[in-house]
Chain A
């Protein structure tokens, strides 16, 4: 997924990459480790924005302090094993019975305490630093965690999307995160993650929600998403690119399949993206396979859960999302189904429509027993929704 976007900024991050490699090399085998790192997409050692970098900048010095202590302790252990082993030819007498040494005890209590105090100071300042809401212009996005996919709601832009969070570079993005259950979306105003409690999200929205955790390591640390609680997290990307993220808190059957991507654009590209997302869905040419797909979509079960902006149901009402992703610009996204499948791969789309649970066990999208012809038409329609 998204290898293309990631090549940008490779040169600028060269020094960071080197440090990353240095660390992994020390932990394991250097050659193999660095080969792996260059292919990694979700790498906490490859911060790509100021918030991720704050975590990283603490980890690196602490890592080296730990390496130092490791070398000293294991070195002493090895030294004593060699130096004081019983040797042939040495009289096997009983060694002097040393019971301890108070000065040493005080030393190895105070010294580590001092080292740890030194580490604690930047830790505390960074905790408060990260908790501070950024001043100045920010982008606000509500993040709704479903079982098992992510929905992104831009309240000021009027955009709702799924699996991919698009952001402009160089601007802090304040995410308001809430966990929603199956009942979510039945409310007349969907896709709002009101700050609370006590107002809280609408009760039905959290009734059967579970805990998730939002993590896109190259842009920020982790933030749990907890039913009945509204958490915030700030992310920011320095450079355009595609950053992989994943649900980190075990959330039931398909926890492993709850991935997402953050796509960072230059401010200009981002504005273009916003304009495209605000538009109604593209209408297929009459008589095409895609048009057949649209009819199937409107007259079948799809609209029970999914919305497409610009379409009306049989009674002339606009479609309202009810637990399923908004599909208005489905084909403008690279991935779907918890970012496990690609939208441009007709085969994967067909497989999903045929039997969603075969991709994501427990998926709430039912198998409607669609015929291969119906699936082909729906795939054509979905892929036309740019």
Chain B
């Protein structure tokens, strides 16, 4: 352990001196600070969001008119596959990770996550997984079998694309599994005094559920991906019916992961919205326990609905009935959440800055995605809708109208905490309205297209099908979304140029992160707050009189205001914080090289393994306690 005051590093017997940069490039490469890692996750995932967005625009250009050949089938298949992989694994999951990393320790009153170097390792493996997967464009072709990678097509495809897919996603899976364990341990063990489980903010609860979903679902896709890799690289027959394998095995494994994955993507956004709606309604979350328990219920039931992706496989009426009913059941806790968000706004004192607009946008769009989801539980009706654009519409209403709107809500809400500046309100409102219109123009018509007979993943369609008009509308909508993203980017650039406002609590917040300075000091809190209630920060500011009115607590009245200045009190001296380290990035670099080795050369495998082992040994032998403080 080092301290915030300059550590006397380099005297112990580590392989390398511990890095000491606190600013600049090396401070970011070697950081183990959950806040810096959160920002790294956010920036990286947003960069991938722009790339995945460009892929979406290419798809929409190709489909804007019938019989187009702007993208050939082979390129189109690569583009839609990479769009899906990117948005799921390299955008929404890491964007959620950005929020969880940055906020969870602050919200539970901890100084960092349980395993800070492991946290850095997760980030670097994720980054390398993304770069690895994208490098396939230059090394013989990108994955082209869909994000769902159905065997045997993925096995039989002669290009290397799906091998990159298997290894890239295995790496991303390592990153997520490691971080799932890390964050679950953090939430369970590192809460501030008095922060019982049922005083945790809903965002922390949803994060916890997500970490368990990750820890239990990622091993399943790991099995599937290893089998795919073996089939492709070493000629095994896991999915080959002639040799006794089974193509449907892939589907079971993939969707047994894939459906919990949907909730991995949406629950963090639900948590974000559950934080924002109360603040801008100036009321506590309606039915806190019900929102928490419905989140947990969704997590459990989410493991029991995977066959609703496979009704047409031919598993028989009994399987289809069972999974149809479980899919119906999962709608109930989802509905409970929506009604509780409505209840939160009921009789509130509502204001509508950008975070609130995006949160309300989330609720209203998610309702549409949820309702179209219920139609998927009506199995015979889904016999028609499956694998059509109706499904594309449905999950974009959930993952864009839901997750992306929720994540933008979070970005606007916590921006002043992370960067010490509020994003511009006018640009934020323009962003919201343009994105809302563009989103509905893009994905609304896809419901109609699907029912009118447009299957998914087709490179083009004949004019005779009568799909031209709505496809054109959808393409126009996609470019409208692109404009709104440019507005957001402009907002970010303009805001960075402003001087910092350093408002600790700009929104009259309810949770612990608003008690510390903006941005928070490296050690988060000078004094770890003692928690007495749910919405602790609110209760330090307001009290209820005997006749039930809520009045502000006089300044200094509660004696708990001192944390509001991060650099007050001890000024951070003497607080133990983990020191930066080179080893997480070294170890993850080893995995990166190893990945290429599995495709190109056993020598690269050996090299990667050596780098990985060197990184892990250095990591293990790194002095964790300063000699002067031991």
Contacts and interface: CB of A to CB of B under 8 A. Distances in A.
Interface of A: 1, 3, 24, 27-28, 32-33, 35-45, 52, 54-56, 58-59, 62-63, 66, 69-70, 73-74, 76-77, 80-81, 84-86, 92-101, 104-105, 108-109, 112-113, 116, 119-120, 123-124, 126-128, 130-131, 200, 203-204, 206-211, 213, 215, 217, 220-224, 226-229, 231, 244, 246-257, 259, 340, 361-362
Nearest to A44: B384
Contacts of B284: 97-99
A123 B276 CA distance: 38
Contact of B451 (A43, A101, A226, A253): A43
A108 B339 contact: yes
B622 interface: no
30 contacts: A24-B448, A27-B444, A35-B469, A40-B466, A42-B452, A43-B453, A44-B451, A54-B380, A62-B381, A77-B363, A77-B364, A95-B550, A96-B283, A101-B343, A108-B336, A123-B379, A124-B324, A200-B241, A213-B387, A222-B384, A227-B247, A228-B241, A229-B314, A244-B464, A246-B453, A246-B455, A248-B455, A253-B74, A257-B73, A259-B462
B458 interface: yes
Given A28-B470, A215-B455, A223 B314 contact: yes
Given A37-B466, A100-B288, A211 B153 contact: yes
B384 A62 contact: no
Contact of A28 (B72, B152, B378, B444): B444
Contacts of B384: 44, 52, 55-56, 59, 217, 221-222
A120 B381 CA distance: 12
Contacts of B343: 98, 100-101, 104
A85 B356 CA distance: 12
By Cβ-Cβ distance, the 4 closest A-B pairs, closest first, are A221-B383, A228-B241, A42-B453, A39-B466
Contacts of B372: 66
Contacts of B347: 84, 95-96, 98
A75 to B, nearest CB: 10
A329 to B, nearest CB: 24
Nearest to B146: A250
Contacts of B380: 54-55, 58, 123, 126-127, 130, 221
A245 B340 CA distance: 44
Contacts of B316: 131
B321 interface: yes
B349 interface: yes
B351 interface: yes
Given A1-B464, A43-B453, A210-B152, A84 B348 contact: yes
A69 B370 CA distance: 11
A71 to B, nearest CB: 10
Contacts of A27: 444, 447-448
Contacts of A224: 312-314
Contact of B367 (A73, A84, A97, A227): A73
Contacts of A93: 349, 549-550
A339 B381 CA distance: 26
Given A84-B350, A248-B386, A128 B312 contact: no
Contact of B378 (A62, A84, A217): A62
Contact of A41 (B248, B321, B466, B542): B466
Given A66-B371, A255-B458, A227 B453 contact: no
B274 interface: no
Given A250-B146, A250-B150, A252-B157, 11 more contacts: A28-B470, A40-B453, A59-B384, A69-B371, A77-B342, A84-B281, A96-B347, A131-B316, A226-B314, A255-B73, A256-B457
A228 B242 contact: yes
Contact of B453 (A44, A94, A104, A231): A44
Contacts of A73: 338, 342, 367
Contacts of A55: 380-381, 383-384
Contacts of B460: 256
Interface in B410-461: 444-445, 447-448, 450-453, 455-461
B350 A231 contact: no
A137 to B, nearest CB: 24
A333 B316 CA distance: 34
A105 B459 contact: no
B258 interface: no
B377 to A, nearest CB: 7
A249 B153 CA distance: 10
B588 interface: no
B336 A109 contact: yes
B501 interface: no
B360 interface: yes
Contact of A247 (B281, B336, B348, B455): B455
A281 to B, nearest CB: 29
B320 A66 contact: no
B137 interface: no
A256 B317 contact: no
A131 B377 contact: no
Contact of B331 (A63, A116, A246, A256): A116
Contacts of A86: 349-351
A368 B332 CA distance: 60
B466 A222 contact: no
Nearest to A35: B469
B145 to A, nearest CB: 7
B560 interface: no
Contacts of B455: 215, 246-248
Interface string B39-80: 000000000000000000000000000000000111001000
A320 B73 CA distance: 31
A105 B349 contact: no
A267 B268 CA distance: 59
Contacts of A222: 312, 383-384, 386-387
A226 B324 contact: no
Nearest to B383: A221
Given A74-B367, A124-B321, A95 B314 contact: no
B425 to A, nearest CB: 15
A104 B345 CA distance: 15
B198 to A, nearest CB: 12
B375 A66 contact: yes
Contacts of A59: 375, 378, 381, 384
B453 A41 contact: yes
A211 to B, nearest CB: 6
Contacts of A127: 317, 320-321, 324, 379-380
A228 B380 CA distance: 24
Given A95-B347, A226-B247, A251-B153, A36 B469 contact: yes
B332 A116 contact: yes
Given A84-B350, A86-B351, A340-B462, A210 B156 contact: yes
Contacts of A108: 335-336, 339
Given A44-B453, A222-B312, A28 B448 contact: yes
Given A41-B453, A59-B375, A97 B447 contact: no
B385 interface: yes
Question: Interface centre among B346, B364, B455, by most A CB within 10 Å?
Answer: B455
Contacts of A3: 464
A74 B364 CA distance: 6
A206 B241 contact: yes
B346 to A, nearest CB: 6
A168 B542 CA distance: 77
Interface string B358-402: 001001100110011011011111111111100000000000000
B300 interface: no
B287 A101 contact: yes
Nearest to A39: B466
A130 B445 CA distance: 29
B324 A120 contact: yes
Contacts of B461: 256
Interface in B312-331: 312-314, 316-317, 320-321, 324-325, 328-329, 331
